Amino acid sequence: MEADCRDLSSSPLCKFCQPLIISCHCFDLAMSPLVRAATLTNFLEVTQELGLSPQPLLREVGLSRVLLSDPDQRIPADAAVRLLELAAAAARFPQLGLRMAESRQLSDFGVVSLLISHQRTLREALTVTMQYRHLLNDTLAMQLEDAGTLVIIREEVVATAPSRQATELALGVLFRMCEAVMGGRWAPQSVNFTHEAPADLALHRRVFACRLEFGSEFNGIVCLASDLDAPNPAADPAMARYAQRFLETLPLVNEPSVVLDVRKAIYLMLPSGRANTEYVAQALGLSVRTLQRQLDEAGTSFTHMLGEVRCELAERYVANPRYSMVRVSELLGYSNPSSFTRWFIGHFGMAPQQWRQHHTLGCTPAADFRH
């Protein structure tokens, strides 16, 4: 089943998410988190291979070839995400993001690549990637979750609108990074996607060469804990120290945003039942009181942000026929399915099972269900 890559403005979102719809219609790209232009490495080549002229697409989102020519140039993250979706739709090629990731190199991470390549283990390399994400892509949310002999590397692209292309690009790049650090020893158990599989899986099988799980509860990679902790024979502690000292001299590109950080943390923690102020504050290295104060100063609250993310993930999970409504309620933080049903009706205007049926039939006009 083809992934649903709808624009937020045409989806039956709940009342929590309506402010986001407004921001999509009049979104100021200057307010978007910035990412390196290297995020779009290979975009021009791939679109031309697919018979597209990239210039009109770039113009549509306010970008240009000149901006993309410098990999360290900062561009609005939401412009990059929208560009990927526009190009995939124009080419009728749902694997565009993954096709861009296929030829990525560790060097595409810029100056951070030196530090990553000299970490003692893959776990430390991933930790460094998360620590310096502000130098790479501030819309990425990553988390390592130990599960016995396995580790789940969760990764979400937290942008204005959900994006299949950005998700597959991010997971493809993450996979390639792990492969670069571990070499031939990289043998993950599975790569997981929350969206459905495309009709043609040849590219996915070529890039990932492991079990593929579509319609999953999370986006990420599952691997053995022993692989994450295996020594990296190419690691050089002296080079790692040198690279870290250099990175610490670089200025911040994006101003720290507690709202964005909390939003990313909720995305990662809600499905595991840990999306509360205590866990999120701990993950961000803040006290609960400091977290609440900073959100208040930003004009929002933890409860409101939890509601926004819950609405967005509700669409993802309810639309997936593989999930029972009991499982959906658990993934959204409800221990009682009836409480979830009441919440869903209150915000979407109909029962979740009815919403799923309308979604499957493609007959859910947004105006009918918004509050």
Residue 213 belongs to a domain with what CATH number? 3.90.1520
Report pLDDT digits (tens) over 77-107.
889 999 999 999 999 999 999 999 998 888 8
Task: Select from 212, 247, 282 the last residue of a domain.
Answer: 247
> Do 198 and 107 reside in the same domain of the chain?
yes
Q: Which of 193, 215, 247 is the last residue of a domain?
A: 247
Q: Decide which of 247, 281, 297 is a domain's last residue.
A: 247
Residue 178's nearest CA partner among 137, 222, 243, 125 is 125
In a domain, 363, yes or no: yes
Long-range Cβ pairs for the range 48-56 (8 Å, 24+): 50/87, 50/91, 50/93, 50/96, 51/91, 52/87, 52/90, 52/91, 54/87
DSSP assignment string, 46-112: HHHHTT--HHHHHHHTT--HHHHHSTT-EEEHHHHHHHHHHHHHHHT-TTHHHHHHTT--GGGGTTH
Give how far the C-alpha of residue 177 lies from the chain's centroid of Cα atoms, to the nearest Å. 16
Lookup: tokens for 4: 């649903």
Is 94 inside a domain boundary? yes
Residue 204 in this model has a pLDDT that exceeds 90:
yes
CA distance 212 to 190: 6
pLDDT per position as a tens digit, 31-60: 467 888 989 999 999 999 999 999 999 999
Residue 256, pLDDT > 60, answer yes
Helix ranges, the chain (H): 18-25, 43-49, 54-60, 65-69, 77-91, 96-101, 112-117, 122-131, 164-182, 202-208, 225-228, 237-247, 258-269, 277-283, 288-297, 302-319, 325-331, 337-348, 352-361
pTM attached to this predicted model: 0.75
Q: What is the mean pLDDT of residues 229-254?
A: 83
Domain that holds residue 324: 258-368
Q: Are residues 106 and 214 in the same domain?
A: yes
Sheet of 211-213: strand order equals 140-147, 150-157, 220-224, 190-192, 211-213
Question: What was the pLDDT predicted at 2?
Answer: 34
Residue 271 sits in a domain of what CATH number?
Answer: 1.10.10.60
Asked if 267 and 234 sit in the same domain, the reply is no
Compute how many other C-beta atoms are within 10 angstroms of the C-beta atom of residue 234: 13
Residue 12 clears pLDDT 60, i.e. is over it:
no
In a domain, residue 1? The reply is no
215-219, 277-281, 299-303, 363-367: which has the minimum mean pLDDT? 363-367
